[in-house]
């Protein structure tokens, strides 16, 4: 059933939302993408985060990225509070030396 309400393209409705296209980190075209919350949902109820970011900002801030990039982020920065507090933009993620090296490696993959 179609809905008249607009769909926000940069947000995911749930963990299973996926789409295809170029990854917003490595840029590889034609990838199956998943939504990476730049401020992890676990942090949305924390007072520290609520003082810094609005609820809507926390919910909508994210990137559509390929599985290898997504896995690399969570492997290299496993602490969700650290991830949300210090790496809440694409630019901040790519400034992390480990993430930058991982994304460069992913770009070379098929």
Write the pLDDT tens digit of every residue in 78-99: 999 999 999 999 999 999 999 9
Q: Is residue 2 one of the residues assigned to a domain?
A: no
Domain annotation covers residue 87: yes
pLDDT value, residue 81:
92
Q: What's the Cα-to-Cα distance from 11 to each of 21, 25, 44, 47, 98, rounded to whole Å? A: 15, 16, 15, 22, 26
Taking only the tens place, the pLDDT of each residue in 18-40 is: 788 899 999 999 889 999 999 88
Instruction: Give residue 73's pLDDT.
Output: 96
Q: Residue 1 — very low, low, confident or very high, per pLDDT cuts 50/70/90? A: very low
Classify residue 69: in a domain, yes or no: yes
What is the pLDDT, as a whole number, of residue 33? 95
- How confident is the model at residue 6, as a pLDDT? 34
Domain count, the chain: 1
Instruction: Provide the domain limits for residue 60.
Output: 18-107
Q: What angle do CA 40, 44, 45 make, to 5 degrees?
A: 140
Query: Within a domain: residue 3?
Result: no
pLDDT of residue 7 exceeding 50: no
Domain contains 8: no
Q: Is residue 12 part of a domain?
A: no
């Amino acid at each position: 059933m179609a809905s008249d309400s607009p769909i926000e393209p940069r947000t995911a409705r749930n963990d299973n939302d996926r789409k295809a296209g170029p990854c917003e980190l490595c840029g590889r075209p034609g990838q199956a993408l998943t939504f990476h919350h730049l401020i992890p949902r676990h942090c949305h109820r924390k007072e520290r985060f609520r003082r810094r970011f609005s609820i809507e900002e926390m919910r909508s801030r994210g990137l559509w990225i390929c599985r290898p990039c997504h896995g690399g982020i969570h492997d290299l920065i496993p602490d969700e509070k650290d991830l949300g507090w210090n790496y809440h933009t694409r630019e901040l993620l790519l400034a992390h030396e480990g993430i930058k090296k991982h994304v460069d490696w992913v770009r070379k993959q098929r």
